[in-house]
């Protein structure tokens, strides 16, 4: 096992795929000469040259559209948004072109494109740069949505995304880029639509994904010291969703708590809660609960930002109340 940072795992996945397939290219703001806003593309310009690692103007709508057009004629673009907050400028291209072109052309135009970049809150980046958009994009038929937590998952899922013939939304938490984890030395991929049990438990299931697991896993450790056994299920793949993994876990533990970084109203956790009450209602010993970001634009002040987000303390208190 190699120990890699999250950004190194992403870099390795892209580099390996680009070495094998000359039709793959990376395009976005500062991906080349600056080596990526978060240094994910470090060394790739020197290796592949300016025709395959392409710096763009600050025009998300433009380079997203160029990428979709390139995918229509057989290339396999990786489009980096400096942050998913900036994808709003390109949302018409993503939703009305990338997501629908294959369907509207009766299969004549597959769109093998990956849109990737930093999502969620960073640290004191305030309201316009701290938003979680997985529920937005998961709402759209034709898009696949991934949000990995560990370096190994980021590597394996990005390789799968690059090889897929459908547009993929690949959301990388901004605060995870420097996190480290074991990644197998050999090449591997992880299928979409397969959740992962990050911790086995018997009394309650916490369903989560991406950065929120930073709070969930330590909370589960502390709860274990109190004699409360929590199972932690990392979705990894938002769409397609591993419904069976969720239901199997809840049917075992009889309780479910969903923890997400995004807002409560119409958040993706609401879809998970609907699934549980629909197909595992008779197994529940307490109502399905959710912990989300507070229903406010992200504050700039560090103390208010912390208060707005999920936390270990909020999770521990909620689990205690559900186990009583």
Which two three-digit tokens encode residue 137? 């994009």
Among the candidates 128, 148, 183, a domain finishes at: 183
% of the chain with per-residue pLDDT over 90: 98
Among the candidates 183, 204, 238, a domain finishes at: 183
Confidence of residue 316 (pLDDT cuts 50, 70, 90): very high
CA distances from 310 to 125, 162, 204, 216, 241 (A): 17, 31, 18, 9, 22
**Marked catalytic residue, from 129, 174, 231, 289:** 129
Q: Are 175 and 122 in contact (CB under 8 A)?
A: yes
Q: What is the pLDDT averaged over residues 6-14?
A: 98
CA distance 199 to 234: 9
Q: How many domains does the chain have?
A: 2
**Marked catalytic residue, from 8, 29, 60, 231:** 60
- Do 150 and 55 share a structural domain? yes
- Do 280 and 253 share a structural domain? yes
Which two three-digit tokens encode residue 48? 């592949």
- Do 130 and 17 share a structural domain? yes
Q: Are 231 and 201 in contact (CB under 8 A)?
A: yes
122, pLDDT greater than 90 = no
Is residue 316 in a domain? yes
CA distance 249 to 260: 18
The distance of Cα 129 from the centroid of its chain, to the nearest Å, equals: 16
**CATH classification at residue 55:** 3.40.50.970
pLDDT (tens digit per residue) in 150-182: 999 999 999 999 999 999 999 999 999 999 999
Active site residue 172: no
% of the chain with per-residue pLDDT over 70: 100
Q: Are 309 and 293 in contact (CB under 8 A)?
A: yes
Domain region containing 50: 2-183
Active site residue 139: no
Confidence of residue 200 (pLDDT cuts 50, 70, 90): very high
Is residue 188 in a domain? no
Q: What is the predicted pLDDT for the residue at 12?
A: 98
Q: What is the predicted pLDDT for the residue at 203?
A: 98
Which two three-digit tokens encode residue 217? 């896993």
Q: What is the predicted pLDDT for the residue at 324?
A: 84
Is residue 297 in a domain? yes
pLDDT (tens digit per residue) in 253-301: 999 999 999 999 999 999 999 999 999 999 999 999 999 999 999 999 9
Q: What is the predicted pLDDT for the residue at 123?
A: 87
Is residue 141 in a domain? yes
102, pLDDT greater than 90 = yes
- Cis amide leading into 151 (omega within 30): no
Exposed/middle/buried for 165, CB within 10 Å: 0-12, 13-18, 19+? Answer: exposed
Q: What is the predicted pLDDT for the residue at 264?
A: 97
- Do 161 and 42 share a structural domain? yes
- Do 119 and 26 share a structural domain? yes
Q: What is the pTM of this model?
A: 0.97
CA distance 107 to 87: 26
CA distance 237 to 190: 10
Confidence of residue 229 (pLDDT cuts 50, 70, 90): very high
- Do 138 and 23 share a structural domain? yes
Q: What is the pLDDT averaged over residues 134-162?
A: 98
- Do 26 and 121 share a structural domain? yes
**Sign of the torsion angle spanned by Cα atoms 275, 277, 283, 288:** positive
- Do 207 and 63 share a structural domain? no
Which two three-digit tokens encode residue 296? 């406010």
Which DSSP state fits 143? -
Query: Which residues pair with residue 116 across a beta bridge?
Result: 80, 170
Confidence of residue 75 (pLDDT cuts 50, 70, 90): very high
Mean pLDDT, the chain, whole residue set: 97
Confidence of residue 27 (pLDDT cuts 50, 70, 90): very high
- Do 142 and 213 share a structural domain? no
How many other C-beta atoms can be found within 10 angstroms of the C-beta atom of residue 170?
26
Among the candidates 153, 183, 213, a domain finishes at: 183
**Sign of the torsion angle spanned by Cα atoms 136, 82, 307, 296:** negative
- Classify each residue of 83-95 as buried b or exposed e, where b means 16 or more C-beta atoms within 10 Å of its C-beta: bbbbbbebbebbb
Is residue 306 in a domain? yes
- Do 205 and 177 share a structural domain? no
Confidence of residue 307 (pLDDT cuts 50, 70, 90): very high
- Do 206 and 121 share a structural domain? no
């Amino acid at each position: 096992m190699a120990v890699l940072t999250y950004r190194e795992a992403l870099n390795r996945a892209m580099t390996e795929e680009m070495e094998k397939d000359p039709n793959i290219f990376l395009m976005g703001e500062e991906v080349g000469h600056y080596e990526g806003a978060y240094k994910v593309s470090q060394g790739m310009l020197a290796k592949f040259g300016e025709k395959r690692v392409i710096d763009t103007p600050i025009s998300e709508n433009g380079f997203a559209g160029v990428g979709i057009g390139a995918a229509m004629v057989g290339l396999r673009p990786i489009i980096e948004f400096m942050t998913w907050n900036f994808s709003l400028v390109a949302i018409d291209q993503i939703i009305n072109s990338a997501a629908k072109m294959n369907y509207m052309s009766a299969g004549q135009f597959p769109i093998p494109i990956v849109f990737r970049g930093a999502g969620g809150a960073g640290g004191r980046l305030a309201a316009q740069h701290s938003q979680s958009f997985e529920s937005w994009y998961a709402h759209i038929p034709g898009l696949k949505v991934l949000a990995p937590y560990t370096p190994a998952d980021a590597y394996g899922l990005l390789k799968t995304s690059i090889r897929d013939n459908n547009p993929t939304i690949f959301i990388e938490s901004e605060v995870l880029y420097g996190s480290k984890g074991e990644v197998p030395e050999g090449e591997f991929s992880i299928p979409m639509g397969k959740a992962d049990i990050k911790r086995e438990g018997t009394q309650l299931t916490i369903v989560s994904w991406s950065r929120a697991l930073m709070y969930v896993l330590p909370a589960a450790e502390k709860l274990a010291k109190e004699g409360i056994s929590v199972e932690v299920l990392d979705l990894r793949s938002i769409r397609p969703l591993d419904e069976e993994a969720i239901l199997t876990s809840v049917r075992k533990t009889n309780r479910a708590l969903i923890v997400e970084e995004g807002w409560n109203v119409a958040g993706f956790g609401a879809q998970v809660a609907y699934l549980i009450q629909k197909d595992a209602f008779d197994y529940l010993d307490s109502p399905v609960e959710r912990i989300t970001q507070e229903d406010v634009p992200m504050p700039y002040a560090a103390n208010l930002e912390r208060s707005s987000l999920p936390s270990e303390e909020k999770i521990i208190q909620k689990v205690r109340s559900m186990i009583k």
